[in-house]
C-alpha cells in the first residue's frame, strides 16, 4: 500500500466518520492457501461463517484485490498452533461479472458441499461446488432480493443464507437462492443498521450483525430485533468499526475491531464483555486493521489481519 493510501486510511480513522465498506487493497497479494492442516478451520480472511465454523474442515483464504483471483497472502501464522503444514489445493473464480466470475469477493460461507461467496461489486452471492460455478442470486438494487455491496454471509441451521447487505443497511435472507425476507433499515435506533459488514448465527438461532457505522453488534431472532451490545469507544466492552463476527464452540461471540486493532470477546447468551486481545502493530500477537474472524474445531481463533497482509492465529 502506498504511503498516501495509508495516510488516507488513518485519517478516516481519526475522523471517526462512517467509512466506506470497501477497504483499500491496492497492493493485496493473490496467493491462495486452501486448507490449513487438519484442525477443522472454517473460512477466514474476508470470511465470517456464523455458527458453522467448528463443524467444517475447509478454510478459504481469499484476497479481494481488484482484478485478482481468489487468494490471500499467508504472510505469517502468529503463534502457529497446529498449522505447520499448509497445502495448496486449488483456486476458483476470476475477475469479471459473468458466471463463475467475481469482483471484490468479501465474504464466504460453507453449506455442506456448497461454497457461497459474497460478490461485493457484482452485488450478488455466487455459489460454487468443488470449484465449479453452480448459480448466483441477487442483483444490484434496493428491492426485495436485491443487494448493494454485500459484505458478510452466513448459513443458519436450517440452510437459510444470511447476507449483510451493507449499503442497503439490512440483512437479506435467502433459501435455495430464493429471497425469503429482509430485516433492518438505515439508522441508529433499535433494529436499525448502519453499514452491516459481518454476520453470524449462534447455537440458539440468534443472528449477530456487526455494524461498522453504529459501532455495535445487533442481535435478531427470526428477523425480530432482540438487543444490541457495544458502543463507540476503545474501553472494555466498547467497539470501534467492528467488521467481523464469529461464534466459538462455547457460544461466545468474537468481534474484530478495525478501528482499535483488537478482537473483543463477549459471553454466550448474555453478551457481557469477557476480554479482548490484540493491539496495534506488526509483531506477534498484534494486529493492523483486522477484518473477519473464524474459530476452528480446536478453539483457535483466526483473524484476517488486513494491513499486515497475513492471517493471525491465537490459541484457545
**So what's the pLDDT on residue 283?**
95
Ordered by start, the domain boundaries in the chain are: 23-314
pLDDT band at 55 (very low <50, low <70, confident <90, very high): very low
Helix/strand/coil for 120? helix
Q: Please check the confidence at residue 76 and state whether its pLDDT lies above 70.
A: no
**So what's the pLDDT on residue 298?**
86
Q: Please check the confidence at residue 188 and state whether its pLDDT lies above 50.
A: yes
pLDDT digits over 239-271, tens only? 999 999 999 999 999 999 999 999 999 999 999
**So what's the pLDDT on residue 90?**
86
Q: Please check the confidence at residue 63 and state whether its pLDDT lies above 70.
A: no
Task: Write out the three cell numbers for 97.
Answer: 461479472
What average pLDDT score do residues 111-137 get? 96
Burial of 209 (0-12, 13-18, 19+ CB in 10 A): buried
Q: Please check the confidence at residue 288 and state whether its pLDDT lies above 80.
A: yes
| Record: fold of 23-314 | Neuraminidase (2.120.10)
Q: pTM for the whole thing?
A: 0.75
Q: Please check the confidence at residue 156 and state whether its pLDDT lies above 80.
A: yes
Mean pLDDT value across the chain: 78
pLDDT band at 171 (very low <50, low <70, confident <90, very high): very high
**So what's the pLDDT on residue 117?**
95
pLDDT band at 48 (very low <50, low <70, confident <90, very high): very low
d(CA 279, CA 291): 14
d(CA 56, CA 204): 19
Amino acid at each position: 500500500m502506498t504511503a498516501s493510501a495509508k495516510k488516507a486510511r488513518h485519517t478516516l480513522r481519526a475522523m471517526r466518520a462512517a467509512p466506506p465498506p470497501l477497504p483499500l487493497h491496492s497492493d493485496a497479494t493473490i496467493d491462495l492457501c486452501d486448507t490449513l492442516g487438519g484442525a477443522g478451520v472454517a473460512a477466514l480472511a474476508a470470511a465470517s461463517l456464523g455458527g458453522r465454523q467448528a463443524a467444517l474442515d475447509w478454510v478459504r483464504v481469499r484476497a479481494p484485490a481488484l482484478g485478482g483471483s481468489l487468494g490471500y497472502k499467508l504472510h505469517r501464522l502468529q503463534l502457529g498452533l497446529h498449522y505447520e503444514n499448509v497445502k495448496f489445493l486449488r483456486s476458483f473464480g476470476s475477475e469479471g461479472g459473468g458466471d463463475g466470475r467475481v469482483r471484490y469477493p468479501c465474504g464466504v460461507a460453507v453449506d455442506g458441499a456448497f461454497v457461497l461467496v459474497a460478490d461485493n461489486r457484482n452485488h450478488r452471492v455466487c455459489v460454487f461446488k468443488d470449484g465449479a460455478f453452480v448459480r448466483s442470486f441477487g442483483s444490484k438494487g434496493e428491492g426485495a432480493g436485491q443487494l448493494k455491496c454485500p459484505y458478510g454471509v452466513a448459513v443458519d441451521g436450517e440452510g437459510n443464507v444470511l447476507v449483510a447487505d451493507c449499503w442497503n443497511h439490512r440483512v437479506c435472507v435467502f433459501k435455495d437462492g430464493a429471497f425469503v425476507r429482509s430485516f433492518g433499515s438505515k439508522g441508529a435506533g433499535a433494529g436499525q443498521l448502519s453499514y452491516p459488514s459481518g454476520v453470524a448465527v449462534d447455537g440458539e438461532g440468534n443472528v449477530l450483525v456487526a455494524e461498522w457505522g453504529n459501532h455495535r453488534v445487533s442481535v435478531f431472532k427470526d428477523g425480530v430485533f432482540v438487543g444490541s451490545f457495544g458502543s463507540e469507544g476503545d474501553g472494555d466492552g466498547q467497539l470501534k468499526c467492528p467488521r467481523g463476527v464469529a461464534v466459538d464452540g462455547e457460544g461466545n461471540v468474537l468481534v474484530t475491531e478495525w478501528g482499535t486493532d483488537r478482537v473483543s470477546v463477549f459471553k454466550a447468551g448474555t453478551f457481557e464483555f469477557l476480554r479482548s486481545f490484540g493491539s496495534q502493530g506488526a509483531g506477534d500477537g498484534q494486529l493492523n486493521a483486522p477484518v473477519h474472524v473464524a474459530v476452528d474445531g480446536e478453539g483457535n481463533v483466526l483473524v484476517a489481519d488486513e494491513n499486515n497482509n497475513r492471517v493471525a492465529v491465537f490459541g484457545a
